[in-house]
Amino acid sequence: MSSEHRRTPPALIRITHWIGAASMLAMIGSGWQIYNASPILPFVFPPWATLGGWLGGGIAWHFAAMWSLAAAGLIYGLHGVISGHFRRDLRPQTPRAVLRDVALALRFRLTHAPGHYNAVQRVLYSGVLLVAVLVVLTGLSIYKPVQLGWITWVFGGYDIARRIHFAMMALIVGFLIVHVAVALLVPSTLFGMIFGRRIHSVSKAPNA
């Protein structure tokens, strides 16, 4: 069996990936519903992009999705630590390596080998993990500003924590857009995440 077939995500990770993806979409839609009840910027999200129908419904969906996302994230996190995935695949690269891969990506010459993260992917995936931590902490600070007042204080108060929470959500949406675009550009990885195996060989980057 080729290394391409060996380096596919385990079934447990594939399942938690899709549970996490569905939960994240539910949290974004319900979060936008909550935002619309008290906007902090001069716009609201269209009803078709929200989830819950009203403030109470949005809150209910938000917390329901939070638990499934937390469970999937916990399993993924434990696997990443125990298997060495975080240490092996997400270890930061040098600025030169990041700039090199950014240049290759802009020229559509960046390779995407199975089970291997290039420097750009490592920065994006490591960054989104940090963003996820900030989303959780700011979410807790605006959910329980009295009981968890010390967290709210760390972020500069309720209003600032809410704005940080919104900004982190926007970064996650941006990451999801890039993530989906890359998956569509390299469909073998998407097939592998769904079925556990890839159907295409890895293409080599054309010569400069």
Same domain? For 68 and 135 the reply is no
Task: Please give the model's pTM, rounded to 2 decimal places.
Answer: 0.79
Domain count, the chain: 2
Regarding whether 75 and 123 lie in a shared domain, the answer is no
The pLDDT of residue 3 = 44
Domain finish residue from 63, 83, 103: 83
Do 180 and 94 sit in the same domain of this protein?
yes
Tell me: pLDDT of 190 over 80.
no
Residues in the chain: 208
Report pLDDT for 197. Answer: 61
Confirm whether 71 is domain-assigned.
yes
What backbone phi and psi angles, to 5 degrees, belong to 134?
-65, -35
Position 195 in a domain = no
Q: What does the H/E/C string look like for 108-139?
A: CCCCCCCCCCCHHHHHHHHHHHHHHHHHHHHH
Is 111 a domain residue?
A: yes
In a domain, 191, yes or no: no
Burial degree of 41 (CB within 10 A; 0-12, 13-18, 19+): exposed
pLDDT score for 199: 54
Instruction: Determine the structural domain holding residue 64 and report its residue range.
Output: 1-83
Tens digits of per-residue pLDDT, 41-95?
A: 999 999 999 999 999 999 999 999 999 999 998 998 888 888 887 777 777 777 8
Between 190 and 65, the higher pLDDT residue: 65
68 plus 127 within the same structural domain: no
Phi, psi of 116 (to 5 degrees): -125, 130
In terms of Cα–Cα distance, which of 59, 55, 51, 43 is closest to 25?
51
